[in-house]
């Protein structure tokens, strides 16, 4: 009886008991998936197949081996991922922190689990297009217009997700990576706008989050400096925000549990939006 009373009095448990719908916000992982040229790709194969070993009772098991970088597919950047002038977030000496082959400060094991208010800033919808043009730079005005369209803007501790529509190209690796054409993304000024709102994390439906001009590749990533190094804001990349946009959900519960990779610089993740069923 006591347990039942506790359950009914807890608002979060009551909300879950009332029914929750989960919406996928990430891409599937598979061999040959689009991957930044700065990172090793994802590889998976079966190393044991059913029938390779059969138990006395007729049972059999299969398993796989996975080889991947921490920044492949849908993932989150730890604060150890980027340095500026030799320093990580909070003035941590990058060379000293990475001595020995893993990070002793700001590693992926310090990435928090996130159960936060999420806000979708649908910039593609603001422009009335399914996908922003290649190489387009998302401006402060774009984010303000997206927030007005959503009827809310991200605030302290929130997770702000930027939709460019680029996930629609995910099945075409050449188009998605945009090496020659560029990839749309957040500009430095727009990142500073987000940082001023003291959000906890932000993500986008592209490989690098920020604007990649045609032919520029990933030579410089100034938005990573603004968010990770200067502001301590985590970055999510390779999101798929199409289902969220199609459902018309601009405000939701954002759920994320990164892998605790000790001394790493990022973690593959499966982000979810939780809304009332």
Any domain includes 6: no
Any domain includes 175: yes
Residues contacting residue 266 through CB under 8 Å, at least 6 positions apart: 69, 70, 71, 75, 76, 77, 78, 81, 108
Any domain includes 187: yes
Q: Which segments within the chain are labelled E, that is strand?
A: 20-24, 43-48, 63-67, 75-77, 114-122, 137-138, 159-163, 185-186, 201-204, 234-237, 251-256, 266-268, 272-276
Identify the pLDDT of residue 6.
53
Any domain includes 145: yes
Q: 169 or 15: which carries more pLDDT confidence?
A: 169
Reported as type and span, the H/E element at residue 214 is none
What is the arithmetic mean of pLDDT over 243-249?
97
What is the arithmetic mean of pLDDT over 169-189?
95
Tokens 């939709």: give the residue.
163
Any domain includes 4: no
Any domain includes 1: no
Q: Is the pLDDT of residue 134 over 70?
A: yes
Residues contacting residue 8 through CB under 8 Å, at least 6 positions apart: 14
What total number of domains does the chain contain?
A: 1
Any domain includes 203: yes
Any domain includes 80: yes
Q: Each residue of 17-33: pLDDT tens digit?
A: 999 999 999 999 999 99
Q: Is the pLDDT of residue 1 over 50?
A: no
Helices (H), the chain: 2-9, 11-17, 94-97, 123-126, 140-150, 173-177, 188-196, 222-224, 242-246
**CATH number for the domain that contains residue 203:** 3.50.30.50
Task: Label residue 7 by pLDDT band (50, 70, 90).
Answer: low
Identify the pLDDT of residue 41.
92
Give the rounded percent of residues in the chain with a pLDDT score beyond 90: 90
Domain limits for position 165: 11-276
104 exposed, middle or buried (CB, 10 Å; 0-12, 13-18, 19+)?
middle
Q: Is the pLDDT of residue 84 over 60?
A: yes
């Amino acid at each position: 009886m006591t347990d039942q009373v506790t359950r009914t009095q807890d608002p979060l448990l009551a909300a879950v008991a009332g029914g929750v719908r989960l919406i996928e916000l990430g891409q599937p992982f598979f061999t040959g998936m689009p991957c930044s040229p700065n990172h090793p790709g994802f590889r998976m194969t079966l190393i044991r197949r059913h029938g390779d070993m059969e138990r006395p009772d007729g049972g059999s098991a299969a398993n796989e081996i996975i080889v991947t970088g921490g920044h492949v597919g849908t993932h989150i950047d730890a604060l150890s991922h980027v340095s500026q002038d030799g320093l990580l977030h909070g003035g941590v000496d990058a060379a000293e922190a990475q001595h020995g082959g893993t990070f002793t400060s700001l590693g992926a094991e310090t990435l928090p689990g996130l159960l936060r208010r999420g806000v979708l800033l649908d910039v593609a919808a603001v422009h009335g297009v399914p996908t922003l043009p290649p190489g387009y730079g998302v401006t402060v005005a774009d984010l303000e217009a997206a927030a007005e369209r959503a009827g809310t803007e991200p605030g302290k501790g929130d997770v702000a997700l930027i939709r460019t529509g680029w996930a629609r190209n995910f099945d075409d690796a050449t188009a998605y990576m945009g090496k020659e054409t560029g990839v749309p993304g957040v500009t430095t000024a727009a990142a500073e706008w987000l940082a001023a709102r003291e959000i906890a994390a932000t993500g986008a439906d592209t490989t690098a989050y920020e604007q990649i001009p045609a032919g520029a590749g990933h030579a410089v990533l100034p938005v990573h400096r603004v968010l990770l190094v200067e502001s301590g804001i985590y970055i999510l990349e390779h999101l798929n925000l199409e289902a969220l946009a199609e459902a018309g959900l601009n405000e939701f519960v954002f759920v994320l549990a990164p892998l605790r990779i000790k001394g790493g610089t990022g973690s593959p993740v499966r982000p979810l939006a939780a809304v009332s069923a």
